[in-house]
């Protein structure tokens, strides 16, 4: 199993509607109709889009239209067909297409220096009595990857079958994602250990660059040779920090989105994880009866190579001591209602 | 209370909550920080208006409709508490404490000012 696949991501608002229905329902129905191997709907905690209206769950009135992110991964033809349908939907939002591999081994990616691994699990799935996402994080950490974050989905499809969370239900089968990045050699080790632990894990691999870890600059966010490739490429900058991490008095993730908006970034979305680790730090999540939260927060922004270089300056300043910053090439990015070329 | 009064309470209650939503979102989206200024603006202006109403010595149905129905649905205790808790979650204890004590001080001041204004008529 090692397939040339694509990942279709849609960023939009919780209240966005098409033809009188919620866009989220419309998208996930389309995923199920197209029998998408793996798709997840994630709920953001703050963000802004092309119109620069800030949404945040920190203030009640501004939390009424929080960002949503839907991700669909499958082989090329299926995603191409889905993309044609999604791109035609009217409304406000952003649609991106990235290259990925549905695989449990490095295959043709072994020449890369760093990789991003996504593992899809059921919310209440267990491996040897341990919650599966914790077991996967433990294996990743033992293999020495740079970091991993667990994001809880609210809807999705696994193997084409719809897995939607309901209010009064156990929701054990609703998908969650474990996102991790690390050096290819360590990822190889992690994949072997994961396969041994649970042979049927649903994994995808993508190219990624680790730019900064715990204050240490490792690589510039934009690969010069790739940035010039066709001139139409976009880049995604991803910042992972603990919710408890702060810059001066403010939490880093809040300050980051505030500054990205001030500096005219095209958009940004923050997602709160439920568990994760990066670097040498032990895995962390919320603690019972603790006022402060300790879960990881992932913030993404997508822009042109030139703009990403500028925005990285902001990110660099805010992650002077802690956090994990990665970048990825996004071959195609276009607003909803317009067909993104690939 | 008579049936028309009940209907008026429902109607004015919805007016109050819509007014809160509009003012809160207008203030919050203009203030770039995450300090809940929108809720403070709502509660302070509500206290001012309720102060004016009591200064005017309204009573009976008029006070019920203007005070309990309109201002009651306009101001919000629960949002004030929720947003203070959120500040605590973020470890921003100083802004959290400020949100509690500044709201109390500004609110009492606004009510007092309102009553003085109302009493002058």
Residue B56 pLDDT grade (very low, low, confident, very high; cuts 50, 70, 90): very high
- As given in the structure block, the two tokens for residue A58 are 């920190």
Contacts of A244 in chain B (CB under 8 A): 91
- Span B34-52, average pLDDT: 95
The fold adopted by the segment(s) A211-334 is Alpha-Beta Plaits (3.30.70)
Pairwise CA distance, residues B71 & B67, whole Å: 5
> For position A289, what pLDDT does the model report?
75
A197-223 tens-digit pLDDT: 998 899 999 999 999 999 999 999 987
A292-308 tens-digit pLDDT: 888 999 999 999 999 99
| Higher-pLDDT residue of A270, B90 | A270
Contact at 8 Å (CB) between A174 and A122?
yes
Residue A1 pLDDT grade (very low, low, confident, very high; cuts 50, 70, 90): very low
Residue A21 pLDDT grade (very low, low, confident, very high; cuts 50, 70, 90): very high
pTM: 0.90
Contacts of B91 in chain A (CB under 8 A): 244, 246, 251, 292
Contact at 8 Å (CB) between A42 and A272?
no
Check pLDDT > 60 for residue A251.
yes
Contacts of A292 in chain B (CB under 8 A): 88-91
Nearest to B100 by CA among B114, B113, B112, B88: B88
Q: What percent of chain A is predicted at pLDDT more than 90?
A: 65
Query: Does any CB of chain B come closer than 8 Å to the CB of residue A288?
Result: no
Pairwise CA distance, residues B25 & A305, whole Å: 34
Instruction: Give the nearest chain B residue to A242 (CA atoms).
Output: B90
Q: Which stretch, A42-51, A239-248, A284-293, has highest mean pLDDT?
A: A42-51
B38, B77, B91, B94: which to substitute to probe chain A, counting the most A Cβ within 10 Å? B91
A296/chain B closest Cα distance in angstroms:
13
A254/B34 Cβ within 8 A:
yes
Residue A33 pLDDT grade (very low, low, confident, very high; cuts 50, 70, 90): very high
- As given in the structure block, the two tokens for residue A102 are 């549905």
Check pLDDT > 80 for residue B104.
yes
B34, B39, B40: which to substitute to probe chain A, counting the most A Cβ within 10 Å? B34
Burial profile A253-286: b = 16 or more Cβ within 10 angstroms, e = fewer: bbbbbbbbbeeebbbbbbbbbbbbbbeeeebbbe
Query: Does any CB of chain B come closer than 8 Å to the CB of residue A111?
Result: no
A60/B90 Cβ within 8 A:
no
Q: What percent of chain B is predicted at pLDDT more than 90?
A: 83
A85-121 tens-digit pLDDT: 998 898 889 999 999 998 877 877 877 889 999 999 9
Residue B1 pLDDT grade (very low, low, confident, very high; cuts 50, 70, 90): confident
> For position A225, what pLDDT does the model report?
65
> For position A11, what pLDDT does the model report?
96
B6-29 tens-digit pLDDT: 999 999 999 999 999 999 999 988
Contact at 8 Å (CB) between A78 and A33?
no
B61/chain A closest Cα distance in angstroms:
31
Residue in this structure with the two tokens 């007016």, named with its chain if needed: B15
Average pLDDT, chain A: 90
Check pLDDT > 90 for residue A243.
no
Check pLDDT > 70 for residue B32.
no
Contacts of B29 in chain A (CB under 8 A): 53-54, 62
> For position A249, what pLDDT does the model report?
79
Check pLDDT > 60 for residue A228.
no
The residue ranges of every structural domain in chain A are: 211-334
> For position A342, what pLDDT does the model report?
46
Instruction: Give the nearest chain B residue to A290 (CA atoms).
Output: B89
Instruction: Please name the residue ranges forming H helices in B1-121.
Output: 3-30, 37-55, 60-63, 72-74, 77-89, 93-119
Q: Is A88 exposed, middle or buried (0-12, 13-18, 19+ CB in 10 A)?
A: exposed
> For position B97, what pLDDT does the model report?
96
Nearest to B34 among A58, A244, A246 (CB): A58
> For position A339, what pLDDT does the model report?
54
Nearest to A292 among B82, B91, B94 (CB): B91
A65/chain B closest Cα distance in angstroms:
12
Question: Sign of torsion, CA A85 A91 A97 A103?
Answer: negative
Residue A66: phi and psi, rounded to 5, are -70, 155
A60/B83 Cβ within 8 A:
yes
> For position A227, what pLDDT does the model report?
53
Query: Does any CB of chain B come closer than 8 Å to the CB of residue A289?
Result: no
């Amino acid at each position: 199993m090692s397939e040339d696949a694509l990942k279709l991501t849609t960023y939009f608002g919780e209240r966005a509607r098409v033809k009188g229905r919620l866009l989220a329902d419309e998208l996930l129905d389309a995923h199920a109709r197209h029998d998408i191997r793996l798709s997840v709907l994630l709920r953001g905690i703050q963000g802004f889009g092309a119109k620069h209206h800030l949404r945040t769950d920190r203030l009640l009135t501004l939390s009424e239209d929080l960002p949503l992110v839907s991700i669909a991964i499958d082989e090329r033809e299926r995603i191409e067909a889905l993309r044609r349908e999604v791109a035609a939907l009217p409304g406000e939002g952003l649609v991106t297409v990235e290259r990925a591999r549905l695989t449990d081994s490095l295959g043709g990616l072994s020449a890369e220096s760093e990789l991003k691994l996504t593992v899809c699990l059921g919310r209440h799935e267990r491996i040897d009595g341990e919650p599966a996402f914790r077991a996967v994080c433990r294996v990743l950490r033992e293999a020495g990857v740079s970091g991993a974050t667990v994001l809880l989905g609210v809807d999705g499809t696994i193997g084409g079958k719809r897995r939607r969370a309901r209010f009064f239900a156990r929701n054990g089968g609703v998908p969650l994602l474990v996102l991790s990045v690390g050096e290819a050699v360590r990822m190889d080790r992690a994949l072997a250990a994961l396969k041994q632990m649970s042979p049927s894990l649903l994994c995808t691999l993508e190219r990624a660059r680790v730019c900064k870890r715990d204050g240490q600059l490792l690589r510039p966010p934009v690969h010069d040779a790739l940035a010039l490739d066709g001139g139409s490429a976009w880049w995604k900058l991803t910042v992972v920090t603990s919710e408890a991490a702060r810059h001066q008095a403010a939490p880093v993730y809040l300050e980051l989105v505030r500054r990205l908006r001030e500096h005219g970034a095209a958009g940004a979305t923050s997602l709160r994880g439920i568990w994760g680790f990066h670097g040498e730090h032990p895995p962390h999540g919320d603690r019972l009866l603790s006022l402060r939260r300790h879960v990881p927060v992932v913030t993404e922004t997508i822009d042109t190579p030139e703009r990403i270089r500028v925005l990285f300056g902001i990110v660099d300043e805010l992650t002077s001591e802690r956090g994990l910053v990665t970048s990825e090439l996004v071959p195609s990015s276009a607003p909803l209602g317009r067909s993104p070329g690939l | 209370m008579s049936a028309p009064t009940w209907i008026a309470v429902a109607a004015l209650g919805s007016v109050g909550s819509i007014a809160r939503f509009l003012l809160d979102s207008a203030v919050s989206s203009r203030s770039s920080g995450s300090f809940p200024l929108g809720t403070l603006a709502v509660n302070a202006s509500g206290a001012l208006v309720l102060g004016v109403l009591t200064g005017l010595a309204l009573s009976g149905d008029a006070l019920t409709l203007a005070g309990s129905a309109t201002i009651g649905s306009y101001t919000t205790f629960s949002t004030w508490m929720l947003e203070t808790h959120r500040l605590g979650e973020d470890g921003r204890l100083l802004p959290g404490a400020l949100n509690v004590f500044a709201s109390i001080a500004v609110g009492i001041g606004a009510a007092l000012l309102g009553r003085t204004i109302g009493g002058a008529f």
